[in-house]
Amino acid sequence: MSIIATASPTVPLGRRVKRFMGDYPLVPLLILLVLLVVVLQIMQPGIVNQRWIANTVKFAIPLALLAGCQTMTMLTGGIDLSVGTVATMAAFIVATQGVDNPAPVAMLIALIPALLVGFANGIGVGVFRVHPLIMTLGTSLIGVGCLQVYQRTVIGSGAKVPDFLIWLGTGVTWGFPNALLLFIPVAALLIFIQKRTGFGRLLYAVGDNERATRLSGVQYWQVILALYMFSSVLAGIMGLLYMGLIRAPSLSLAEPLVLPSVAAAVIGGTSIFGGRGGYTGTIVGALILTVLTTLLTILQMPEGARRILFGAIVLLVTAAYLRIIEDR
């Protein structure tokens, strides 16, 4: 017996716009993106060209991949804060193992810790019901420790990033970044999983009402275990790509991308409480954040002011988005 809005013929324009945006949540995001690009172009005429676009896309892709992990986990009401560590581990290991091993072997070895961390997360969240925030923060702490111990063992052997990863990470073919070769299939896969597979359905349903899924015969731990392992492997793959882009192994390579990845998913309209959202929005969210970073660099904002603005925008966008959703 809720209030059923009677559709009267004279809906005010503002409301109509809002409703339209609510039904097509991508539209306001795209408008924001275009707006940011226009501002950029006005402030520094001529900056927006093919090379700039390729570059922006190149840097948005790792962020979007990491934000993919957040999107998937946030659909179930979770979050995966270990993705930064997992990506860093994969990157560091592939660079150090690349010295003695052929590239494919090094890459496979690099993904093993990702699987392990994902498994631990899945068990902790799915079986023991630890809050995902804590579980993934914890495994990430352990992961960093392991990585530091590992670093000692390989400290003398140097590092070599596989050429393939460098080509994938930095290369541009006909104006398109090669990373798209990885990203487009991954993005398509993510969207397909969310929209057209039983697993995707379960992610939304579990995030929305876990009890209901239980009564329908869904085994929560299976879904969560699979989800966190998937998320970790995705983060590992992102780490490999990012290694190719940055080319300098470090122990905190992908760490700075963790919070932006959460922000990208949130801006993209995925509800942090689960049950709502999708990867398409997240991709646009990642683009928005990347363009914004460029904008702030051009403005020569001090790091501090940049972070303040960044936080404020995350908040504002989310609040605005919430209003649009609510008004439907």
Partner 1 sequence: MRFLRQHGWVAGLFALFVVLFILTKIIQPGYGAGDFGSLVRAVLPYAFVVAAQTVVVIAGGIDLSVASMMALTSVTAASMMAGASEEYALFVVPFVLALGFALGALNGILIVVTRVPDIVVTLATLFMLQGAALLVLGAPGGGAAEWLKNLIIGTVPLPGIPDGLTTWIPKALVLMVVLLCIVWIPLMRSRLGLSIYAIGSNQLAAFRSGVPVARTKILAYAIAGLFGAMGGLSLTMSTGIGAPIPGPYLLASVAAVVLGGVALGGGKGGLLGPIVAVFVLRLVRTDLTLLAIDPNVTAIVEGTIMVAVVMFGAFIVMRSRSS
Partner 2 sequence: MAKNYGAVAALKNTSLSVLPGEVHALMGANGAGKSTLVKILTGAIRHDRGTILVRGKAHLVRSPADARRAGLVSVYQEPSLIPDLDVLANLRLTQTPVEPFRNWVRELGVPDLDMRDNARDVPLAIQRVLDLARALAIEPDVLLLDEMTAALPANLAERVLDVVKRQSRTGRSVIFISHRFVEISALCDRATVLRDGETVGVVDISPGVEERIVELMLGAKIEKARAAQRQATEASAHGEAGTRIAVRNLRVGTKLQDVSFDLKDGEVAGVVALEGQGQDELFAALAGSTKPSGGTIEVDGRQVRFSHPVDAVRAGIAYVPGDRSEALAMQQSVRENIALPFSAAFRNWGPIRMGQERATVQSAIERLQIDTRAQREVQRLSGGNQQKVTIARWIAVDARTILCFDPTRGIDVGTKQEIYKLLRQLAAQGKSVLFYTSELEEIQLACDRAIVIFGGKVVDILPVEIADEPALTRAAYGLPRDAKAAVGILAETASSEGARP
Q: Which does 219 bind (CB under 5 to 8 A by kind): partner 1, partner 2, none?
A: partner 2
Q: How far is the CB of 281 from partner 2 (least distance, A)?
A: 15
User: Are the CB atoms for 83 and 114 separated by under 8 Å?
Assistant: no
Quick one: which of 85, 213, 232, 280 contacts partner 2 (CB under 8 A)?
213
Quick one: which of 51, 131, 195, 214 contacts partner 1 (CB under 8 A)?
131
Question: Could you say whether residue 78 binds partner 1 (CB under 8 A)?
Answer: no
**What is the number of alpha carbons within 13 Å of residue 257 lying toward its C-beta?**
28
Quick one: which of 41, 101, 209, 318 contacts partner 1 (CB under 8 A)?
318
Question: Could you say whether residue 155 binds partner 2 (CB under 8 A)?
Answer: no
CA atoms 189, 59, 251, 267: torsion sign: negative
User: Are the CB atoms for 198 and 132 separated by under 8 Å?
Assistant: no
Question: Could you say whether residue 196 binds partner 2 (CB under 8 A)?
Answer: yes
Q: How far is it, in rounded angstroms, from Cα 307 to Cα 277?
A: 26
Binding mask 268-287 for partner 1 (x = CB under 8 A): ----xx--------------
Q: How far is the CB of 78 from partner 1 (least distance, A)?
A: 11
Question: Could you say whether residue 325 binds partner 1 (CB under 8 A)?
Answer: no
User: Are the CB atoms for 168 and 243 separated by under 8 Å?
Assistant: no
User: Are the CB atoms for 107 and 162 separated by under 8 Å?
Assistant: yes
Question: Could you say whether residue 138 binds partner 1 (CB under 8 A)?
Answer: yes
Q: Which does 144 bind (CB under 5 to 8 A by kind): partner 2, partner 1, none?
A: partner 1
**Structure-token pair, residue 195:** 């929209």
Quick one: which of 111, 205, 243, 286 contacts partner 2 (CB under 8 A)?
205
Quick one: which of 25, 62, 98, 124 contacts partner 1 (CB under 8 A)?
124
Q: Of residues 224-243, which lie at the interface with partner 2 (CB under 8 A)?
A: 226
Q: How far is the CB of 137 from partner 1 (least distance, A)?
A: 5
Please report how the helices 198-208 and 220-246 are oriented relative to each other, as an axis angle in degrees rounded to 10: 110
89-120 burial by CB neighbour count: b if 16+ within 10 A, else e?
Answer: bbbbbbbbbbeebebeebbebbbebbebbbeb
Q: How far is the CB of 265 from partner 2 (least distance, A)?
A: 17
Q: How far is CA 27 from CA 31, 32, 147, 170, in A?
A: 6, 9, 42, 30
Q: Which residues bind partner 2 (CB under 8 A)?
A: 1-6, 192, 196-199, 201-202, 204-205, 208-209, 211-219, 222, 226, 275-276
